[in-house]
Chains A and B, each alone.
Chain A
Amino acid sequence: MRHSFLDRYRQGTSPIHQLDPRLKLLATLAFVLVVTTMPPGSWIAFALLAALAIAMLLVAQVPLVEGLKHSAIALPFAGMVAISLPFTQAGEVLWSWQPFGFAQGGPFGFAQGALSSLTLTITDVGLVLFATVVIKAWLSVMVSGLMVATTPFPDLLQAMRSLHVPAVLTATISFMYRYLFVLVDEAMRLQTARAARSVGTGRTVWWRARVLGGMIGSLFIRSYERSERIYAAMLARGFAGEVRTLTRLTWQAGDTRAGLVWVAVLAAIAVLGRMAFLLPAGAF
């Protein structure tokens, strides 16, 4: 499988694999909700939630390193969004720097003055916010990754449908999932064709960019034409604007129990995490 990297699902027989996909979807959402609503600097809660997530990874027999690595994908994105926080929040200054301070009193007058007065300061509040955002993103992606790794994608789609996610949305995701693989195959064929006709590495970046642009355009046209053929195939089989599916999911008593335990644990962590703020400063 050349595109197996797209499918994160790992076959398994762990208790988590056997849970109803609807439960996993809801449980993941609940976890993300609890994580994101914790106040900044809830280190105890974050530690407990991380321990919970890692415990789930272990139960699901997802290799720990892999689980942590995949979820680290979120870090650059979260980091990018949060990068300004340490510098922009009011608070106790931990560190400051005038990158152009050396230019004071030079021959270039006002412009130089403005530049030299530019000061970067990092505050304690800003730093706590930054760490909070990054940790929240990492934890959220970790449990989402766990869900994807333990649930076949078609089952997740079924779960979304039976939880009344709008049909337009689930149909779009369904097509995306189905044709991502076809598209990747086509892209790889184009790339092979390009490689076959361009020997050596002496080409310029400009040339590469042009070829890539052509490839993207060609993929777009192909996809557009394919979409028309798919639509014809749907019409030929009686499609009249409404997507109908059968559900294969069966909710069991064990799912209810697991769901209740999960909610109780999350609630306990949320409460504990907030109580930690009531302790006198310096208690931990």
Chain B
Amino acid sequence: MSGHVIQIEHLSFSYADGRQALHDVSLAVQSGEKLAIVGPNGAGKSTLFLHLNGTLRAGTQNGDRVRVAGLPVGAKTLRTVRAKVGLVFQDPDDQLFSPTVFEDVAFGPLHMGAPEEEVRERVARALAAVGMSGHEEHMPHHLSLGERKRIAIATVLAMDPEILVLDEPSAGLDPRARRNLIALLRELPQTMLVASHDMRLVWDLCSRTVILDGGRLVSDGPTAGLLQDEALMERHGLEIPYAHLPPNGLHAGKQIGQDESAGLQEVQRT
């Protein structure tokens, strides 16, 4: 087991149209680690994520390429694996498909077969964790994007996952909503995999970063080292947040205004 909650060994995957999205990817993630996955659009980030909860599965002839919490991801373990891996999609409108917030957050626990009392308790806990208690009866289209993102995270937290997988969590958020989201994610104890173009978010949230480009894992190391290697970042269509990074802490106080504008430019350019 060696304390790895996620173990991917030599994973390759092609879509039905022949496009090879992943090419011999190997990755191990420690329990409690917060890992960023960066890379240009189409690098295979989303494809990799969909493997983590078995939505996509490499052919059986490949054997158990993906293990989550010690379990091989396959037809037999699908239910357990999906309870352990919480996938937060980029567009909360895809994730929030119920008419009310309550029904949406309750969807996961209900379909895992939890009894009514427990479902209600989990919904209350998940909403409290993202600071959205009291919005149970609201309809998603009456909430702001930032609020919908929080609810989307709550829908997954309600399933008590060990691992949170987030696709572009800060896309489209205004600076305040983005800052609040980063603070929220930092507080959550789960192991986290975050795909993002938002290098400020990566810097503030993740201690380790991997670069995915063209379906290959090209780099893996501490965020501080990778994000300051200008040549490496350039080579893979990325950019460093700005020349002089502040200490790896949540908003080092005086520079907040400047930080945010840098982060926003990042989002717009990519």
Contact = CB atoms under 8 A, between A and B. Distances in A.
B99 A237 contact: no
Given A237-B82, A237-B108, A238-B159, A178 B55 contact: no
A154 B137 CA distance: 9
B212 interface: no
Given A229-B91, A240-B111, A245-B110, A235 B97 contact: no
Contact of A246 (B96, B120, B159): B120
Given A237-B108, A238-B83, A238-B108, A182 B97 contact: no
B89 A233 contact: yes
Task: Classify the interface of chain A: helix, strand, loop or mixed.
Answer: helix
A239 B155 CA distance: 13
Given A235-B55, A237-B155, A238-B108, A153 B83 contact: no
Contacts of A238: 79, 82-83, 108, 111-112, 159
Nearest to A247: B116
Contact of B97 (A152, A153, A181, A230): A230
B95 interface: yes
A20 to B, nearest CB: 16
B111 A237 contact: yes
Interface residues of A, number: 29
Interface in A202-259: 226, 229-230, 232-240, 244-246, 248
A154 B97 CA distance: 12
B141 A233 contact: no
A229 to B, nearest CB: 4
B230 interface: no
B48 interface: no
A229 B94 CA distance: 6
Contacts of A239: 107, 111
A178 B106 CA distance: 16
Interface string B45-60: 0000010010100000
B267 interface: no
B20 interface: no
B94 A226 contact: yes
B138 to A, nearest CB: 10
Interface string A138-159: 0000000000000011100100
Interface string B99-127: 11011001110111000100110000000
A154 B141 CA distance: 13
A153 B103 contact: no
A1 B106 CA distance: 26
A177 B99 contact: yes
A154 B139 contact: yes
Contact of A245 (B91, B103, B137): B103
A232 to B, nearest CB: 5
Contact of B82 (A175, A179, A236): A236
A191 B89 CA distance: 27
A246 B100 CA distance: 12
A3 interface: yes
Contact of A178 (B99, B111, B116): B99
B99 A153 contact: yes
A21 to B, nearest CB: 13
Contacts of B85: 236
Interface of B: 50, 53, 55, 79, 82-83, 85-87, 89, 91, 93-100, 102-103, 106-108, 110-112, 116, 119-120, 137, 139-142, 155-156, 159
5 contacts: A178-B98, A178-B140, A182-B93, A237-B156, A238-B79
Q: Which 6 A-B pairs have the closest CB atoms?
A: A238-B111, A181-B141, A237-B108, A154-B99, A229-B94, A236-B87
Given A154-B137, A229-B91, A246-B110, 15 more contacts: A154-B100, A154-B139, A179-B97, A229-B94, A233-B95, A233-B97, A235-B82, A236-B85, A236-B86, A237-B108, A238-B79, A238-B112, A240-B111, A244-B111, A246-B116
